[in-house]
C-alpha cells in the first residue's frame, strides 16, 4: 500500500469489454427477478457495476429511472453507445458514472440497489467490501433493498499448490473446459469460449482464464484472445455477516433467479437485504 492507502487499479474488463458484450448481452434469465423487485420498491434503481448496461437498459425500458456506476471505462463506453440508440424517453431515465463501488458517491437516494451478476466478487479486500456495502446503505431510501447476485462458488475447484496433482502454479497446466459458442453478427464471426479455473483457498481467490477463439464461418482461426479475471469468492455466512455489519437485514437467499431455495448445488447465490434503520 502506498502513502494514501491507494493501490494501482487494474481493470480486468478493460480488454474484455467487447467480448463481454458479445457473450453476455443475450443473458436475460435474471431480468424478471430484478423487475419484480423494482415493481415492489419503485424507482429509482442503483445499478452497481452496470457494465455494458444490460440490466440498467432493461429496467429503463420498463419505465424505471436507473443510475449505473462502473469502474471500467471500456464497459461504460459500450453502455453509453447502446444508450444513445434508445428512444429519448428511455435515454432520459438512465445516468451512468465511472466510479469504484467502495467510493460510491452518487446523487439522490435509491429504493433498490442491484449488484446483479458477480460484481461484488471483483472487490477483494474486506475493508473495501465493507466500505462498498456501507456506502450503498447510505444511498438507499428508508427500507430500501439491496440485491446481490453471484455464483455459488465451488470450493472443490482445482487448487493451486506446489505439490501433488493439483495445479502446480497459477496459470500453469490448468485444464481448459469448453464453455460455449457465441455469434458476432456484426463482424460475421464465431467466438468459441473455453475456461480454465484455478482456486487458492488461502485467499478465497479464483483465477478464471477465458480463452476465446475467434473464427470465420468456415472455422478459420482469426484470433485467439485470453482474458484473465481474478475472482474473490465470498461464501454464504461471510456475506451474511458483511451485510449485517454494514447495516442490512438479510431477508432472503435464493439459489436461482426463480427464487428457489439456496442449497448445496444451487448455481447462484442471491442475497436480498433490507436497509436496517438506525
Ligand atoms: C460480470 S460484470 C457484470 C456487468 C453487468 N452488471 C451485467 O450484469 O451484465 C461485472 C462488472 O462489475 C464492474 N466492477 C468491478 N469492480 C467494480 C468496482 N469496484 N466498482 C464498480 N464496478 C466494478 C466491472 O467493471 C464489470 O463491468
Q: How far is the CA of 228 from the centre of ligand 1 (A)?
A: 15
Q: How far is the CA of 24 from the centre of ligand 1 (A)?
A: 13
Q: Are 205 and 235 in contact (CB under 8 A)?
A: no
Distance CA 93, CA 162 (A): 52
Closest residue by CA, ligand 1 atom 12? 49
Q: How far is the CA of 148 from the centre of ligand 1 (A)?
A: 12
CB of residue 68 inside a 6 A radius of ligand 1: no
Q: Are 129 and 123 in contact (CB under 8 A)?
A: yes
Burial class (CB in 10 A: 0-12, 13-18, 19+), 60: buried
Which atom of ligand 1 lies at the shortest distance from residue 50's CA?
6
CATH code given to domain 177-232: 2.20.25
Distance CA 266, CA 251 (A): 18
Residue at grid coordinates 448481452: 25
Q: How far is the CA of 48 from the centre of ligand 1 (A)?
A: 7
The CATH 2.20.25 domain(s) of the chain lie at: 177-232
Which atom of ligand 1 lies at the shortest distance from residue 102's CA?
19
Give the pLDDT of residue 207.
Answer: 86
Give the pLDDT of residue 166.
Answer: 56
* Pairing of β 189-200 and β 205-215: antiparallel
CB of residue 98 inside a 6 A radius of ligand 1: no
pTM as predicted: 0.92
Give the pLDDT of residue 4.
Answer: 47
Which atom of ligand 1 lies at the shortest distance from residue 47's CA?
6
Question: Of the residues 71, 77, 118, 210, which should be mutated to test ligand 1's pocket, given the most ligand atoms within 8 Å of the CB?
Answer: 71
Pick the CATH number of 17-153+234-275 from 3.40.140.10, 3.40.50.150, 3.40.50.20, 1.25.40.10: 3.40.50.150
Closest residue by CA, ligand 1 atom 4? 51
Residue at grid coordinates 434503520: 277
CB of residue 75 inside a 6 A radius of ligand 1: yes
Q: How far is the CA of 20 from the centre of ligand 1 (A)?
A: 11
Distance CA 190, CA 212 (A): 10
Give the pLDDT of residue 3.
Answer: 45
Give the pLDDT of residue 41.
Answer: 98
Give the pLDDT of residue 145.
Answer: 98
CB of residue 58 inside a 6 A radius of ligand 1: no
Give the pLDDT of residue 1.
Answer: 38
Q: How far is the CA of 51 from the centre of ligand 1 (A)?
A: 5
Q: How far is the CA of 215 from the centre of ligand 1 (A)?
A: 27
Q: Are 225 and 19 in contact (CB under 8 A)?
A: yes
What cell was used for 249? 437485514
CB of residue 149 inside a 6 A radius of ligand 1: no
Give the pLDDT of residue 104.
Answer: 96
The CATH 3.40.50.150 domain(s) of the chain lie at: 17-153+234-275
pLDDT, one tens digit for every residue, the chain (278 residues):
344 455 567 788 998 999 999 989 889 999 999 999 999 999 999 999 999 999 999 999 999 999 999 999 999 999 999 999 999 999 999 999 999 999 999 999 999 999 999 999 999 999 999 999 999 999 999 999 999 999 998 866 766 655 555 555 555 566 788 999 999 998 899 999 999 888 888 899 988 889 999 999 999 999 999 998 999 999 999 999 999 999 999 999 999 999 999 999 999 999 999 999 87
Distance CA 269, CA 43 (A): 24
Q: How far is CA 195 from the centre of its chain?
A: 17
For the chain, where are the alpha helices, taking DSSP H only? 17-24, 31-41, 54-61, 73-84, 88-91, 126-138, 236-245
Decide: helix, strand or coil at residue 32: helix
Q: In what order do the strands lie in the sheet with 189-200?
A: 177-184, 189-200, 205-215, 221-232
Give the pLDDT of residue 12.
Answer: 85
Give the pLDDT of residue 159.
Answer: 66
CB of residue 67 inside a 6 A radius of ligand 1: no
Give the pLDDT of residue 200.
Answer: 85
Give the pLDDT of residue 160.
Answer: 64
Amino acid at each position: 500500500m502506498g502513502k494514501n492507502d491507494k493501490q494501482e487499479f487494474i481493470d480486468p474488463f478493460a480488454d474484455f469489454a467487447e467480448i463481454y458484450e458479445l457473450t453476455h448481452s443475450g443473458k436475460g434469465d435474471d431480468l424478471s427477478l430484478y423487475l419484480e423487485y423494482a415493481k415492489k420498491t419503485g424507482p429509482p434503481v442503483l445499478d452497481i457495476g452496470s457494465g455494458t448496461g444490460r440490466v440498467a437498459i432493461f429496467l429503463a425500458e420498463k419505465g424505471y429511472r436507473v443510475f449505473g456506476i462502473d469502474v471500467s471505462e471500456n464497459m461504460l463506453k459500450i453502455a453509453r453507445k447502446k444508450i444513445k440508440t434508445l428512444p429519448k424517453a428511455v435515454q432520459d431515465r438512465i445516468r451512468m458514472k465511472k466510479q469504484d463501488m467502495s467510493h460510491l458517491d452518487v446523487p439522490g437516494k435509491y429504493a433498490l440497489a442491484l449488484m446483479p451478476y458477480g460484481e461484488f466478487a471483483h472487490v477483494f479486500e474486506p475493508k473495501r467490501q465493507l466500505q462498498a456495502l456501507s456506502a450503498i446503505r447510505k444511498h438507499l431510501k428508508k427500507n430500501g433493498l439491496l440485491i446481490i447476485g453471484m455464483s455459488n462458488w465451488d470450493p472443490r475447484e482445482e487448487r493451486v499448490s506446489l505439490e501433488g496433482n493439483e495445479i502446480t502454479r497459477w496459470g500453469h497446466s490448468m485444464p481448459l473446459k469448453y464453455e460455449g459458442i457465441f455469434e458476432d453478427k456484426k463482424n460475421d464471426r464465431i467466438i468459441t469460449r473455453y475456461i480454465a479455473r484455478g482456486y487458492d483457498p488461502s485467499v478465497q481467490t479464483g483465477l478464471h482464464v477465458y480463452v476465446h477463439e475467434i473464427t470465420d464461418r468456415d472455422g478459420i482461426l482469426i484470433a485467439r484472445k485470453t482474458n484473465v479475471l481474478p475472482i474473490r469468492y465470498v461464501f454464504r455466512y461471510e456475506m451474511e455477516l458483511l451485510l449485517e455489519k454494514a447495516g442490512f437485514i438479510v431477508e432472503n437467499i435464493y439459489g436461482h433467479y426463480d427464487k428457489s431455495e439456496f442449497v448445496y448445488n444451487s448455481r447462484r447465490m442471491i442475497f436480498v437485504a433490507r436497509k436496517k434503520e438506525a
